[in-house]
Every structure is written in structure tokens, then in C-alpha cells.
Structure 1
Amino acid sequence: MKLEIQPLILIAEDNESNYLLLFALLKRDYQIIHARDGIEAVRLFKNSSPDIILMDIKMPRLDGLTAMQAIREIDEEVPIIAVSAHAFEQDRRTAYACGCNAYVTKPVDIHELTSTISLLLSIKEHHDSI
């Protein structure tokens, strides 16, 4: 019998209630680590090598866009999902330009989020096996 290891998600979210909601929705299928700002997100990324990142855009000390750029300088492959309350097309374009692979708006639609996570992880797994 093969023991399957749950993928590790780094959730970068400064709002505790937003984090707790994401944690409650995802904890069953994923291991979760939490960064409370962009600086901590970059540090945890370096130390933990998560399989995927959920990156809030508006955070203290270092915003999510800048944190994404810093992570992209280290790793161009890790999937990053930008999470933002801003639904304007310009916000999406800016996030994609900073390195995200997908963009999800708040309030988070759990079906959209989980299908996006599954899709990005399957693409990553396919690339890793090549």
C-alpha cells in the first residue's frame, strides 16, 4: 500500500479570518503553512519548498506582488495563485506580470479555488515527471 503525501500549500494572507477560512476549506486535502506578510512568504518559500502558493496581494511589510517577483527570481516553476478582493482587469494583468499562474477574487469561490489548485498541481506534476 502506497502512502500518499498531501501537497504543501503556502497561504500568504495577513487577515486572520481570511486565512482561517482558507485553512478550513483546504486542510483535509493539503498540508498548510501560513505567512502573515510578503517577507514571511518569501522566507517560508525558501525554507519549505511548497508545492503551490496562495498569495494575497495586499499585505503589510511586503505586498504580494513584490513577494511573487522575489519568489520568481528563486523559482520560475512553483504555481502561484494570486488572491485579491480587486476584480478589475488591470489588477489581474498586473498580478500575471508579477508572476502568478492564476488569479482568484475574494470572496473566494471554493469550487473555483480547488479546481485551480488541482489543475496547477497536475501541470506541475507533469512537468516534474518530464
Structure 2
Amino acid sequence: MKKFKELTLLLVEDEDGIRESMQEVFGGVFQKVISASNGDEGLKKFKKFSPDIVIADIMMPIMDGLEMSRQIKEFSKNTPVVILSAYSEKEKLLKAIDVGIDKYVIKPIDMDELFVVLEQIVKTKIIGADIIEISG
């Protein structure tokens, strides 16, 4: 079973303080944490490093989290993407569904809740994708 220590995380957050504190927490849990401060930078780092999981803020300069996620899903549809947002409005939620976001977490972030979400994603999206059924 894959654990966080075997996985690479891409964290895309435009607020320096939030990004740095989350990177510190995730750094002790994941094999590698790559960070970016906007969607354009996040997309470039995604293509360069091929992370296992992406966590991104929805509202960022240059390219927002949903547009970045849409492009990631075109490039790698099975990579799980978690969107963090201070907004719970219907329009943003529906767009996130259309993009294929795996989870939508409302800010302020409860790190315990976020880890539960990540555990579910690892079990269903990453481990589930690694299971190969052999029939006789």
C-alpha cells in the first residue's frame, strides 16, 4: 500500500504564509513537496515533476486554480487534484465539477480534515489505480 512518504505533492498557493506553513507540515509527511505561487508556475512544475497529488488554491494571480487544474486534467486525467477555496458559491463548485476536481475543501483549512481527504484520495485514486486484476 502506498503511503504519503512514497508520494510527491504539488502545492499551489499564492499567499506566502499559507504556502510556507502548509509546505512545512506536508514536508514531514510526503516524500517530496513542490510549491508554486500561481497557476502558471504550478502547471509548469506539474509538467516538470509529475507529482502524484496536486493541492491548489482556487483564486490566484496569472492563472487561477481551476484553469490550472483543467489543463492538468487534460495532460494527466488520473492525477488527483484538491482545490482549496474561501468560496462555497454554486458557480465555483459547478465549474470545479466540470473540470474534474477530486475534492473541494473550504477555507479556513482544518489540516486534520485535509489529511483525511488526502488519505481517501490515496486509497481510491492512487492505490486503486495500481491494482491490476489477473484472471485465470
Per the normalisation by structure 1, the TM-score is 0.90
What is the percent sequence identity of the aligned residues?
28
How far apart, CA to CA, are the structure 2 residues paired with 1:99 and 1:14?
A: 22
Amino acid at match of 2:129: H
**1:10-59 Cα distance to aligned partner (Å, 9 max, x none):** 00111101102211322211121001111111111111110100011111
> Which runs of 5 or more structure 1 residues have no equivalent in the other structure?
none
Other-structure match for 2:21: 21
| Structure 1 residue runs of 4 or more that deviate by more than 6 Å after TM superposition | none
- RMSD value, Cα: 1.5
Q: What is aligned with 1:87?
A: 88
Q: With structure 2 as the length reference, what TM-score do the two structures score? A: 0.86
Residue 101 of structure 1 aligns to which amino acid in structure 2? D
- Following superposition, the deviation at residue 80 of structure 1 comes to 0.2
Q: Deviations over 1:65-124 (max 9, x none)?
A: 111111111011000000111122432222121221001111101111001111111221
Question: Does the CA contact (< 8 Å) of 1:96 and 1:102 recur in 2?
Answer: no
- Distance in 1 between residues matched to 2:52 and 2:79, nearest whole Å: 7
Name the counterpart of 2:73: 72
Q: Where do 1:106-121 residues align within 5 Å?
A: 106-121=107-122
- The answer for the alignment partner of 1:102 in structure 2 is 103
Preserved CA contact (<8 Å) 1:6 1:29 = no
Could you tell me whether the CA contact under 8 Å between 2:8 and 2:34 is conserved in 1?
A: yes
What CA distance in whole angstroms lies between the structure 2 residues aligned with 1:102 and 1:120? Answer: 9
Kindly name which structure, 1 or 2, has the bigger radius of gyration based on alpha carbons: 2
Structure 1 contact 37–62 (Cα < 8 Å) conserved? yes
